[in-house]
Each structure stands twice: as structure tokens, then as C-alpha cells.
Amino acid sequence: MSAATSGAGRRVWAVLELLDRQLVDRNGHLVGKIDDLEFEIDDDPGALPRVSALLSGLGALASHIGGDAGRALAATERRLAAARDRQPSRIDIALVQEIASSVELDAARDDIDTNRAERWTRDVIIDKIPGAGHVAE
């Protein structure tokens, strides 16, 4: 977060200013959107919950639609995700460099969990196509 935007006590509206914001890696590549936030709650009674991670992906998206329909969809998605061992991509809050019209991360695209689907597609499908090894030549 830049000096202009990271001053202590800065107020951030989670839904208005974070949800659906574009995630950008340190090289300017688009790496997904924020679909949910994860909070950590300390054992200390009276402690305020802290944002611990940004979540991105279909599982997170299903759970922020809102209302009864959103909650039902989220519950269904959680059950399906658990059955398939699939969870939303998780980005530790310590990687967040700047919160503005987009959210900049201090990491490269290949090191970020949101790139999981792209990596899977490349490793499992694209690389199996005859001639795929010559793509970069």
C-alpha cells in the first residue's frame, strides 16, 4: 500500500472497495478478482477480527451473492468443493501491496494460487497436445 493510501487508520469498505476488485501481480499481469475475504479471530475476547486472506475463484464467488439464495448456493458449493477437495484460491494478506482501483500484489503470477486453473490447463491439457513442446520456438 502506498504512502498515500496506507496511512494508519485508513477506513476500507469491504464490499464496496474490495469485492470484485481486479488482482494485479508485481509485473502488471491480471491474476483474478477478489470474491471473498477470510478473517482470523484471536482467542483474546474483545479482539477484532483481522483480514488474513483474499479469496478468489468460483467457490468464493458462489458464497458472496448474498441473501437466502446466496447462502443456499454457498452451502451447496461448499459441500461439492469438500467432496472434490476444491477450495477457492487463497492469497495471504501479506502479499497485498496497494489497495486502489485494483489490488496490487507483491508476487509474480506463477507464484499466486489464483493461477491454479491456468496451470492445470497448461499441464494437463495443453502440454498433452502433440506439438505443444514447440509452442515457444
Partner 1 sequence: MLLSELVGSRVVTAEGDDLGRVHDLVLVQDGPMGANGRAGLRLHALAVGRRSFGAQLGYAQGSVRGPWILRKLLHRSARLVPWSSVVHRDDEHIVVDIGGRGD
Please give the grid coordinates belonging to residue 85.
477437495
- Nearest to partner 1 of 16, 135 (CB atom): 16
Please give the grid coordinates belonging to residue 91.
492469497
| Residue 55 makes contact with partner 1 by CB under 8 A | yes
Q: Are 46 and 62 in contact (CB under 8 A)?
A: no
Q: Are 23 and 33 in contact (CB under 8 A)?
A: yes
| Residue 71 makes contact with partner 1 by CB under 8 A | yes
Q: Looking only at residues 7 through 36 of this chain, which bind partner 1 when binding is defined by CB under 8 A? A: 7-17, 19, 36
Residue with cell 437466502: 68
Please tell me the distance from the alpha carbon of residue 116 to that of residue 88, in angstroms, as a whole number: 10
- Nearest to partner 1 of 1, 116 (CB atom): 1
Footprint on this chain of partner 1 (rule: CB under 8 A): 1, 6-17, 19, 36-39, 41, 46, 48-51, 55, 60, 63-64, 66-68, 70-71, 74, 93-97, 106
